[in-house]
Structure 1
């Protein structure tokens, strides 16, 4: 590798800030103000990488923080939550991004992470590094003050919180709720600081926080802002974060948000595909799905650990061959109700790359749909249908719900 493509581990705060500045510039933003950098924060468990130009200036970055990812069956694995990936416009198309990705995934392997996850700014970048869409979400708008069906789940109590109380309560509550949802990740202190009590330009923005309490205690929460309307009383409520652990919590939080005065409705980005609010409303048309988008991108780093931590459904076993675009071959595996074991040199029933495997790993897509689309290769007739039953595990739809 050329010296200009060497990847550096960044520990000096000045280098980290310079790397973050380079990343922000790739989003056509910046410069980074002191308050914004302080809001981004520093933590000893974060991992920063950078590449330099020929003049020694940092021109590319990749960042990750440790998290835990929930899998089908509620198993959890260590994961690297990847963000701040970018290369300055005058240094792209020269191998720097590939060098960063390879170094970051190698480091994740050495740390013992089973997977890496990210939110993609562009959908065509990360597939060549083994990442694929593992969950999706719906963009929705619900009109203000809708009528709810009489048989809809009854709400509990909803109370609003200040920033100090929310900082104490929400992290543990989200961690508990995330343990039941495939695709959900845990959040570090820096993430919560930026979400609840941000600095910089976000500090002056309105932020509402509420918690839902059911018969067994707190079981959901919402954090929201507003999008100002053209005239007084026409604001929209904008959901930043909404988690529920019961149908009552889902109903209660949405009833609360849609009933807030001086608003025309509630908008939310990338909600779980199984939230199904329309089934609770007297007029389902006041709930509109305005789009569907990718939610979490996933890349398996340690295949044996990732496959071993996931639950599997019933049915006859299949032999699946996986391909890794960056490292040694990911191997051939016998998948069955009792788990995944190496299949050695056995001929595969199915074959795919890690990018396409991500779509089925958390349960978002059925193997048969991926085979029909040409994303998986079916060598033995009926193998994809058998795999459908193995990958299907009872539980909620996969959803991350955390932007990072």
Structure 2
């Protein structure tokens, strides 16, 4: 504990509301909104830092799941609302909050935790590593023609006024791509509140294949004040969910055929999204720079390693070092057949943050080794680890929280 600062779970809506206001104040750039924070959070999961009874910091999380390579969903804590008042910086409060939170998450039996980092230098020391990245994209419609081979897609219907969180959640909860996480009720409520509060219209379309809803897109126009005189009318897609290739193609066809629109901008796409390959003029899709998305923490290393699948029977023994959760310290023999703690000499030694970076297949072991983050004890160990952890596609969440 930092000085006289007390770290404990928050009790009741008044404390939760106070902590949420602290979070908004700490983030500086987020607008204060008249929100009932108790409706957006889960009881018992919001930790507060109190100085003489005043809440000066907090760290929250949602009960969730994470899809890992192979398709399994592992128990997951979606960490959010981490912040400390500027009057209490540099006093170790974030350290104490995150350390306590990780121990609580472990006690709940949650295998992993993840977050979206406001600053990139905070969380690695707590064992978080960048496990997935994303990118934006701008599609110039006058040059963007889908190839003839692209699927025709199914039915797309407009649900702007009648959209409900239950409808969209019913589609999204089927997400099976590596890196996808469960969006809890509080997430959906906040998303709806923010759309309703926006003076700009948000349009929602749902895709259906053979009578089954299997995708949706949410988009909004930019600069509506000068819309009809603007030389470049832009529509931004804030949420794009497709459960299969047919849904993806059908939603593309809707978006790329919008009247009066010059550019369709996607807030977030996977690094290996196939949209640039699906158009005749690849230059019609301008991709933005890659940026970190999922900061992943393996809370129970053994359970996490056992949960995913691997692409090689050639085992690798990985020694893991975890300064925050020492129960994870040890050597793990990993192969496609089984994963177990072992007393064998390690082939590789890493800290838990480096293992998290490689866990979903988003970062190659050879790149981590080249950056000095992996100690290889045996020849070919890094190559064998790459063969084990390799995945067919890049991990991607597509969810901000």
Which residue number corresponds to residue 167 of structure 2? 169
Distance in 2, matches of 1:186 and 1:215, equals: 25
1:190 aligned residue (177, 186, 194): 186
1:207 aligned residue (179, 202, 209): 202
Distance in 2, matches of 1:203 and 1:140, equals: 23
Please tell me whether residue 181 in structure 1 is matched to residue 180 in structure 2.
no
Ranges in structure 1 where 5+ consecutive residues have no aligned partner: none
Q: What secondary structure does 1:308 align onto?
A: helix
Which residue number corresponds to residue 138 of structure 1? 135
Please tell me whether residue 156 in structure 1 is matched to residue 163 in structure 2.
no
Q: Do the aligned partners of residues 274 and 216 (structure 1) sit closer, same or farther apart at CA in structure 2, a change above 3 Å counting?
A: farther
Distance in 2, matches of 1:358 and 1:205, equals: 39
Q: Do the aligned partners of residues 122 and 369 (structure 1) sit closer, same or farther apart at CA in structure 2, a change above 3 Å counting?
A: same
Distance in 2, matches of 1:271 and 1:401, equals: 7
Please tell me whether residue 231 in structure 1 is matched to residue 242 in structure 2.
no
Please tell me whether residue 109 in structure 1 is matched to residue 82 in structure 2.
no
Q: What secondary structure does 2:151 align onto?
A: coil
Which residue number corresponds to residue 32 of structure 2? 32
CA RMSD of aligned residues (A): 2.0
Ranges in structure 2 where 5+ consecutive residues have no aligned partner: none
Distance in 2, matches of 1:321 and 1:112, equals: 22
CA shift digits 1:120-160 (9 cap, x unpaired): 11111100000011101111111125212212222222111
Distance in 2, matches of 1:204 and 1:232, equals: 14
Which residue number corresponds to residue 21 of structure 1? 21
Q: Do the aligned partners of residues 276 and 18 (structure 1) sit closer, same or farther apart at CA in structure 2, a change above 3 Å counting?
A: same
Distance in 1, matches of 2:379 and 2:26, equals: 46
Aligned-pair distance for 1:342?
Answer: 0.3
Which residue number corresponds to residue 269 of structure 2? 271
Distance in 2, matches of 1:2 and 1:322, equals: 28
Which residue number corresponds to residue 5 of structure 1? 5
Distance in 2, matches of 1:33 and 1:274, equals: 36
CA shift digits 1:7-53 (9 cap, x unpaired): 0210221111111111111111577343xx23772454561111123
What aligned pairs does 1:223-262 form with structure 2 within 5 A after superposition?
223-228=218-223, 231-233=226-228, 234-262=232-260
Contact in 2 for aligned 1:139/1:290 (Cα 8 Å): yes
Q: How many residues align?
A: 396
The alignment's TM-score, normalised by the length of structure 1, stands at: 0.92
Contact in 1 for aligned 2:358/2:365 (Cα 8 Å): yes
